[in-house]
Chains A and B, each alone.
Chain A
Amino acid sequence: DVKVTQSSRYLVKRTGEKVFLECVQDMDHENMFWYRQDPGLGLRLIYFSYDVKMKEKGDIPEGYSVSREKKERFSLILESASTNQTSMYLCASSLRRGAGLAAYEQYFGPGTRLTVT
Chain B
Amino acid sequence: EDKVVQSPLSLVVHEGDTVTLNCSYEVTNFRSLLWYKQEKKAPTFLFMLTSSGIEKKSGRLSSILDKKELSSILNITATQTGDSAIYLCAVQGAGNNRKLIWGLGTSLAVNP
- Please list the residues of chain A having a beta carbon within 8 angstroms of any beta carbon in chain B: 4, 31, 40-45, 48, 50, 56, 58, 90, 94, 96-97, 99-103, 105-111
Contact = CB atoms under 8 A, between A and B. Distances in A.
B102 A96 contact: no
Contacts, number: 58
Interface stretch (B36-44, B56-64, B66-74): B36-44
Interface string B25-44: 00000011010000001111
A58 B101 CA distance: 11
B103 A42 contact: yes
Nearest to B34: A105
Given A42-B105, A43-B88, A106 B100 contact: yes
Given A103-B31, A105-B34, A105-B45, A43 B92 contact: no
B99 interface: yes
A102 B90 CA distance: 12
A103 B102 contact: no
A33 B20 CA distance: 30
A110 B42 contact: yes
Mostly, the B contact residues are loop
B22 interface: no
Given A42-B105, A101-B31, A103-B92, A94 B42 contact: no
Which 7 A-B residue pairs are closest in the complex by CB-CB distance? A108-B42, A102-B32, A42-B104, A43-B102, A105-B45, A102-B31, A103-B92
B41 A110 contact: yes
A107 B45 contact: yes
Nearest to B9: A40
Nearest to A99: B97
A3 to B, nearest CB: 11
A106 to B, nearest CB: 7
Contact of A103 (B41, B42, B100): B100
Given A42-B102, A102-B31, 7 more contacts: A42-B103, A43-B90, A50-B98, A100-B31, A102-B48, A105-B48, A107-B45
